[in-house]
A = this chain, B = another copy of it.
Amino acid sequence: MNTKSRASWRHRLHEIIYEADTKVGKTFDIVLLWVIILSIILVMLESVPSFDAKYHDQLNIAEWIITILFSLEYIARILVVKKPTKYIFSFFGIVDLLSTIPKYLSLILGGSHFLVAVRALRLLRVFRILKLVRYMGEAKLLTRALQASKHKIFVFIFSVVILSVILGTIMYLVEGPEHGFTSIPRSVYWTIVTLTTVGYGDIAPETAQGQFIATLVMIMGYGIIAVPTGIVTSELTAISRESNNTQACPSCMDENHADNAIFCHKCGDRLNEE
């Protein structure tokens, strides 16, 4: 096997694994996707005691087959890619590695193989695999909206945490250990359960004063939930408004003009009438 044929062999494998333009490449991607989904279902079933008791051996064998397949895929990806280190330390490189290692570790340490559930992250490949440009665009829009509201969300979460610590301490003092508020961290946990309107009911105020404060916390939480919603919505609205006008300047091709723009805001040339 001369260098050239090896190079072409690498090139072909690269095409199959990393691209989805050829028929073989597309088939590989779709098979991979189903194997990922199958592997996640297997891990889940394995954790169900009644199911595991019956089919332990079959599940174990299937697990090992998938782990070896994933390992081979991982090695192949390193071999055929041009810059292996870039792949290895990329998000998907790390996820691909973590998808196989726990199973091998389970030979030495029992139990840790459940960490293979990290394989769920491999599902994110679906967006890349199926070249769902459209969906990527939507995901980007959402990501951009979240990005733009990052600072507001940080300020918001920080305020919620401080508020929870204060309210949690008050509830600890009011209700006390005899009504289930056994410590401040537990009271803070209760406060967050209440503020976020989750309300498990594993801890609930029992004294009249506690219930009164709880009422205030709930109404607060009701109002507070409006804040992240408001942030994300106003950001999404702003983004969708911007991208509303798709008119391009005939001179400089710049976009995003105001709806009533007559002249281009970049080069000052007259825009075409729409």
Contacts and interface: CB of A to CB of B under 8 A. Distances in A.
A60 interface: no
Interface residues of A, number: 106
A273 interface: yes
B196 A197 contact: yes
Interface in A146-203: 151-158, 160, 162, 165-166, 168-169, 172-173, 177, 182-186, 188-189, 192-194, 196-202
A49 B258 CA distance: 60
Interface string A113-125: 0110110110110
Contacts of A270: 268
A152 B218 CA distance: 18
A237 B233 contact: yes
A223 interface: yes
A263 B260 contact: no
Contacts of A258: 256-258, 265
A129 interface: no
A44 B188 contact: yes
A169 to B, nearest CB: 4
A32 interface: no
Give the secondary structure class of A's interface. Answer: helix
A13 B254 CA distance: 54
Contact of A202 (B151, B160, B196, B201): B201
Give me the 10 closest cross-chain CB pairs, A-B, nearest first: A261-B265, A263-B268, A117-B169, A198-B199, A200-B201, A230-B232, A47-B184, A201-B201, A230-B233, A234-B236
Interface of A: 40, 43-44, 47-49, 111, 114-115, 117-118, 120-121, 123-124, 126-127, 134-135, 137-139, 141-142, 145, 151-158, 160, 162, 165-166, 168-169, 172-173, 177, 182-186, 188-189, 192-194, 196-202, 204, 208, 211-212, 214-215, 218-219, 221-223, 225-238, 240-241, 244, 253-254, 256-271, 273
